[in-house]
Amino acid sequence: MGVYTAITRRVLVVCSDTANGRVIEDATRAWTFETVVCSSLRESEALLGEKDFAVIFCEDRFRDGAYPELLSVVGRSHKIPIVVMISNVEEDALFREAMALGAFGVVPNPCSTKDAQWMVIRATQGGTNSVKSMPSSGNGSAPALNGPRRT
Pick the CATH number of 10-123 from 3.40.50.2300, 3.40.50.300, 3.40.50.720, 1.10.10.60: 3.40.50.2300
How far, in Å, CA of 87 to CA of 69, rounded? 17
pLDDT in tens, 46-94: 999 888 899 999 999 888 888 999 999 888 778 899 999 998 767 778 8
Look at residue 11 in the predicted model and tell me its pLDDT: 94
Return the closest-CA partner of residue 46 out of 80, 85, 76, 2. Answer: 2
Predicted TM-score of the model (pTM):
0.77
Residue 112 pLDDT > 90, yes or no?
yes
